[in-house]
Amino acid sequence: MIESRHPDDAAIEVNSLYKTYAGKNGVLNEALKSINLSVPRGAIFGLLGPNGAGKSTLINILAGLVIKTSGNAQINGWDIVQDMRRARGSIGVVPQELNLDSFFTPRETMELQAGLYGVPQSQRRTQEIFEALDLEDKADVYARSLSGGMRRRLLVAKALVHSPPVVVLDEPTAGVDVELRQSLWEYMRELNRAGTTILLTTHYLEEAQGMCDQIAIINHGEIVAQDSTAALLARLDRKEALISVDRDIDNLPDDLKRVGIEARITGKRVILIRFSPSQVQMGQLLDAVRVAGFHITDLSTRDTDLEEIFISLTTNRPDGPLHSDIIDPRTDPLETSRSHRQPCNGAERI
């Protein structure tokens, strides 16, 4: 394995990176606009962004497959241009596209790749990688007869041939079945525990939220946020409560309007309120409802999730969208509240 240039170098460091593709009719497409990114060693880092945001462009520049327009990038301290050989030796990339040569078997593919990276025979670990990825059964069949899931596994195997300290996966689970998704993540976590830095791109928010300890959000070729997953989630400081009461509500209690960011009547007897947990306690909200003469019959709350942060950062709405604007049932406050109902006997339960 290639050592890092200095012991304290980041796994990936990207500075003022630009990429402009020359499009049709001379129209330029600015795929990356001054990207700055730092991936600490030992992280499972998520690069999250919608289609066309520039994720693959960035990954492919790091992999040496796309030529940057300007700026620079280092892998474990090795510059992708000046120290190209060592930079490439430090990174293993699983591309988004299933680009395999169909006339080779997985075993031959691995041998070729090992040769390409100059891995000595004694250090080749094809068998071990195949076992970990459950590829042994298919090791000697032509790649063209492999299923999509098996091809994806082989691409992962190929990226690991030279035991790279940094592994990058570009949308590895798009179109992949749940079982493979889980086994892939298990294996990535195992590699990570053994010291490998993992960078993955995804447009699945849940995946990033569940897998990554740090996340950068990219949109239109720009990094719009980079933080620990926890800090990113705390950033919006928003909570939502649904308060059910014992009689029809004609007017919202004034105190409630005062303490909440937003309050509205969502059913005859249900109030939806958004508030900042750092500013307002649940008890204040409940008191405001009681003071107005209502008895509370039910209460449910919901924390912010990455989806809201993502939407608020990738749309130009400074206050973020209302949950009710999101059609996805997973984020519908009413849907969510069904699965998170909490009993309420008037005491504060939060």
Ligand X SMILES: Nc1ncnc2c1ncn2[C@@H]1O[C@H](COP(=O)(O)OP(=O)(O)O)[C@@H](O)[C@H]1O
Q: Which does 31 bind (CB under 5 to 8 A by kind): Mg ion, ligand X, none?
A: ligand X
Q: What angle do CA 205, 173, 87 make, to 5 degrees?
A: 95
Query: How far apart are alpha carbons 205 and 49 in whole angstroms?
Result: 9
- 45 vs 275, which CB is nearer to Mg ion? 45
Position 56 contacts Mg ion (CB under 5 A):
yes
Q: How far is the CB of 168 from ligand X (least distance, A)?
A: 12
DSSP 257: H
Which positions from 279 through 308 interact with ligand X, judged by CB under 6 A? none
Cα–Cα distances (Å) from 197 to 128, 190, 256, 299, in that order, read 19, 11, 47, 42
Q: Which residue is nearest to Mg ion (CB)?
A: 56
# residues near ligand X by CB under 6 A: 12
Binding mask 72-101 toward Mg ion (x if CB under 5 A, else -) reads ------------------------x-----
The letter for the amino acid at 309 is: I
Residues of this chain, 114-143, that bind ligand X according to CB under 6 A: none
Smaller CB separation from ligand X, 201 or 304? 201
Q: Print the binding letters for residues 42-81 with ligand X: x by CB under 6 A, - otherwise.
A: -------x-xxxxxxx------------------------
Nearest by Cα to 255 from 269, 239, 270, 271: 271
In the complex, what is the shortest distance from the CB of residue 27 to ligand X, in angstroms, rounded to a whole number? Answer: 10
Region of 21-29, 34-42, 185-193, 243-251 interacting with ligand X (CB under 6 A): 21-29
Furthest-apart CA atoms within the chain: distance in Å: 80
Residue 12 binding ligand X, by CB under 6 A: no
* 3-state helix, strand and coil shares in percent for the chain, rounded to the nearest 5: 35, 25, 40
**29 binding ligand X? (CB under 6 A):** yes
Our CB check for ligand X shows the closer of 40 and 52 to be 52
- Alpha helices per DSSP H over 212-350: 229-235, 254-259, 282-291, 306-314, 333-339
| CA-wise closest residue to 156 among 121, 180, 120 | 180
Question: Out of ligand X, Mg ion, none, which partner does residue 267 contact, by CB within 5 to 8 A per kind?
Answer: none
User: What's the token pair of residue 163?
Assistant: 């035991």
**Contacting ligand X (CB under 6 A), which of 14, 17, 31, 306?**
31
Sign (positive/negative) of CA torsion 63, 64, 69, 72?
positive
Q: Which is nearer to ligand X, 174 or 344 (CB)?
A: 174
Shortest distance in whole angstroms from residue 204 CB to ligand X:
13
- Closest contact distance (angstroms) between CB of 57 and ligand X is 3
Hey, is 263 helix, strand or coil?
Answer: strand
**CB closer to ligand X, 97 vs 250:** 97
229 contact choice in Mg ion, ligand X, none (CB below 5 to 8 Å, kind-dependent): none
Check: CB of residue 73 under 8 Å from CB of residue 14: yes
Partner whose footprint covers residue 29, from Mg ion, ligand X, none (CB < 5 to 8 Å by kind): ligand X
Q: Is the separation of the CB atoms in 216 and 46 below 8 Å?
A: yes
Rounded to the nearest 10 degrees, the angle between the axes of helix 148-159 and helix 178-193 is 10
Residue 261 has, within 13 A of its CA and on its CB side, a CA count of 16
- For residue 120, CA distances in Å to 84, 112, 115, 157 come to 20, 12, 8, 17
Restricted to residues 150-189, the positions that interact with ligand X (CB under 6 A) are none
CB 199, min distance to Mg ion, A: 13
Residue closer to ligand X by CB (options 51, 339) is: 51
Task: Using CB under 6 A, list all residues that contact ligand X.
Answer: 21, 23, 29, 31, 49, 51-57
Interacting residue ranges for Mg ion, rule: CB under 5 A: 55-56, 96
